[in-house]
Amino acid sequence: SVMFEVLEYTLEHQLPNFSECWWDHWIMDALVCNGLGIYFGLKTVNHFSMRTYHWRGLWDIPSYRGKLRRILGQFGPYLWIDYDWKPFSSLYRWAGVLAVIAGFLLVELNTFY
């Protein structure tokens, strides 16, 4: 998100909709929207990675709320697996991570041209 804000700054001479106030770039976009999204996303992932599952039939659950939670739980994964990219382990890995980031930035920027 911070890199996209840098792209907005560098390309605001080409696209007038990228011209925003400084506080809209950094406070609203980077800190509030993306910062809170990252924070709550990490809390959600941490919550679900420690969750224990007790599988039983739908009709064995006594309460309506329990049945509803069981149905909604069908759409989530059984196990959340942490994956560490280790981008600094080698120069080849570092270049690969930078290429992935550049690719995502190009895809995001493609919607404006």
pLDDT string in tens for the chain (113-residue length): 788 888 888 888 888 888 888 778 788 887 888 888 888 988 887 787 766 556 678 888 889 998 898 888 788 777 767 778 888 999 999 999 999 999 999 999 998 88
Look up residue 67 and give its two tokens.
């049945």
Q: What is the DSSP letter of 20?
A: -
Identity at 74, one-letter amino acid code: Q
H or E, element range at 98: helix 91-110
Query: 1-22 burial by CB neighbour count: b if 16+ within 10 A, else e?
Result: eeebbebbeeeeeeeeebeeee
Distance CA 21, CA 17 (A): 11
Q: What pTM does this model have? A: 0.55
Distance CA 19, CA 9 (A): 8
